[in-house]
Amino acid sequence: MTNSPLVVAAVASPADLDAFIRFPWEIYRDDPLWVPPLIPMQRDFLDRRKGPFFEFGQAEYFLARRDGRVVGRISAHTSGLYEQHHDTETGFFGFFESVNEQAVADALLEAAAAWARERGKIRIHGPLSFGIYDEVGLLVDGFDSPPSMMQTHNPPHYETLLTNWGLTKTYDWFAYRISRKPGMDAAKLARLRDSILTRQKCSIQPIPRKEFAKRGPQIKELFNDIWSKNWGHVPLTDKQYEDLFVTLQPLVRPDLESMILDGDEIVAFAVVSPDMNRSVKKFNGKFGLWQKLQLLWDCRVKPLTHCRAIIMGVARTHQWKRLHHAIIINIIVNFLVNHPKMEYCDCSLIPESLEQWNKTLTDFGGERYKVFRLYDRAI
């Protein structure tokens, strides 16, 4: 604690943005579980000219400094797509990092709230960096394991900093891991999967690499329809989809991506990726040619030890037909048969309101191992 004045100001230069991006290294320098973000990708993501969020949103970034030293950061943003589908009264904050000092956290949150208030918002919600399908929520349970790709990670005391400012829980998202356990019988599970599919006159197959460009847009539209009734859903745009899945596609093994077909129509799917965080952690923020080649090798060639089911879904026309069981069973069978070194598959993020998926994951051996929380407060 010091008596030196605390100054919170908007990022106003490339040097400020660099400080914003690099500040987490200060917070997590002694945290062995933290995975440093890839600096070039983070810079593009935050760039108002390149980032897919800025097709429909606007944002401001703030740094807190004391004696010229950065002690915290935060973003404030609004989303035109959110406003089309939900309400026009909510602003958001994200990218929150702070030293363990309430005065710093309060000043950052006040700056974000003031920015949102100036734009007519009456509440602030977060942390979202930037949207519900980017990095979402504050880690409140599960501090004993590293984050999987696209998951947040933070010190436990952040929850106190946020709630002391007056933020209260809005919603939780869960991460499950399905681990290799004694007694798992791949043949028995495959028979159960096939019996479900036979009853529904459906088939399951990987998404061949050559089919990805053709099937990808179908999956995006199906995903947007499936999730349209879920809490906080904002449809993925073409640019967001391309930013995530087209970038991801060269690194994903085709056997990890599956679709259930009713005739030629996709009625359920799972997009599973090698957990890139296992490689990215070693890069310490760098992402040059050598790191790209290393990531390609680790994801495409090296025996897999961890993966993440990024999105799963069943068409509304085919829900309550146990196809979500078939999708999850297929993930388990695949890693039992084809990836003998696989330790676990992370399935996340699952909204707390999706009781059907939460129960099914638990029924098939999924262990809830992380909880990510969203908050809001009137401003």
Instruction: Name the phi and psi angles at 315, rounded to 5.
Output: -55, 145
Based on the domain organization, do 164 and 185 belong to the same domain?
no
Pairing of strands 344-351, 306-314: parallel
CB distance 108 to 8 below 8 Å = yes
Based on the domain organization, do 135 and 168 belong to the same domain?
yes
Based on the domain organization, do 201 and 286 belong to the same domain?
yes
Based on the domain organization, do 28 and 142 belong to the same domain?
yes
Q: Which of 126, 148, 172 finishes a domain?
A: 172
Based on the domain organization, do 162 and 22 belong to the same domain?
yes
3-state secondary structure of 225: helix
Structure tokens that stand for 280 in this block: 């990215």
Axis crossing angle, helix 39-46 with helix 14-22, rounded to the nearest 10? 120
Specify the residue for token string 């002391």.
Answer: 164
Q: How many domains does the chain have?
A: 2
For residue 158, being part of any structural domain is answered with yes
pLDDT band of residue 296 (cuts 50, 70, 90) is very high
Whole-angstrom Cα distance, residue 207 to residue 328?
16
**118: nearest Cα among 94, 93, 91, 96:** 91
pLDDT at 217: 76
Span 77-119, pLDDT tens digits = 999 999 999 999 999 999 999 999 999 999 999 999 999 999 9
Peptide bond between residue 340 and the one before it cis (omega within 30 degrees of 0) = no
Per-position DSSP letters for 4-67, written without gaps between them: SPEEEEE--SHHHHHHHHHTHHHHSTT-TT-----HHHHHHHH-TTT-GGGGTEEEEEEEEEET
Instruction: Name the phi and psi angles at 262, rounded to 5.
Output: -110, 100
3-state secondary structure of 289: helix
Based on the domain organization, do 69 and 186 belong to the same domain?
no
pTM of this structure: 0.94
List the domain range (segments joined by +) for residue 18. 6-172
What are the distances in angstroms from CA 201 to CA 51, 197, 219, 270, 343? 42, 6, 20, 19, 33
For residue 376, being part of any structural domain is answered with no
Whole-angstrom Cα distance, residue 86 to residue 232?
8
Span 307-350, pLDDT tens digits = 999 888 899 889 889 999 999 999 999 999 999 999 999 998 99
Average pLDDT across the chain, whole number: 92
Based on the domain organization, do 336 and 281 belong to the same domain?
yes
Beta bridge partners of 90: 123
| Residues in the chain, overall count | 379
